[in-house]
Amino acid sequence: MTNPTSPPIRILFAGRQSILRAGLSSLLTGEAGLQVVGEAPTLAAAIKLAAEGGADVLLADFESLLTIDPAAMAILYSNRHKVHTILLAEPDADKSLIADALRMGAWGIISKDAGIRILVKGIRSVVQGKIWLGTRCVAHLDEALLELGNSHGDSVRPKTFGLTRRELEIVAKIVSGYANREIAKKLSISEDTVKHHVTNIFDKTGVYNRLELALFAIHHGLVQKKEDE
């Protein structure tokens, strides 16, 4: 929980896509305890600005890392405990490149498909000195690197965002427009249990409300089609 007396976390954006920078700025401006302080078209320029004391967190387009000036990367590494860099990557980004980025001083990696809740959690976590990998905290850099070095055989989790079979059933009901009480009746469980599942679903997918969840589920193929009455 955010302490209202604590100074806000200052955030700087880096990336070649001005639309992406503007969108992120708009989404995060209203978040309690976060302050957007600027943006830069390149990662190198943003690192220099952040290192001069302009930010606590640097959100950077992962693709920018591929063309970064080695001198700027040295600045990133030397200031990694002052400026916590999170890279925004495509869902199918190369794991070996992600591992290299973490070794070079990045604190986290978040998919561009992630919801705003996941992004905010990642920001708060890296400021506390934790590694953020995908949708959760990882205790240590070594653990993150080991995980990235694992085989690519786990094809179920990325497609379902870690949702259980029961949670996927509830997602389908929400997409179909059912309220918690109706879902509880249809699945023969208590309404409190439904509420608990919905909270977990929101956390795992990074959405804020049922409408955003429905759109997210349809976009990512979590449901085949809306259920009939």
Residue ranges of the domains in the chain? 9-148, 156-219
CATH level 2 (architecture), domain 9-148: 3-Layer(aba) Sandwich (3.40)
The confidence score (pLDDT) of residue 229 equals 44
The confidence score (pLDDT) of residue 157 equals 40
The confidence score (pLDDT) of residue 159 equals 56
- pTM of this prediction? 0.62
Residues of the chain falling short of pLDDT 70: 1-5, 16-21, 64-77, 150-159, 219, 224-229
How far is 123 from 121, CA to CA, in rounded Å? 5
The confidence score (pLDDT) of residue 88 equals 87
**Class for the domain spanning 156-219:** mainly alpha
How far is 222 from 229, CA to CA, in rounded Å? 19
How far is 200 from 10, CA to CA, in rounded Å? 28
The confidence score (pLDDT) of residue 66 equals 62
The confidence score (pLDDT) of residue 54 equals 75
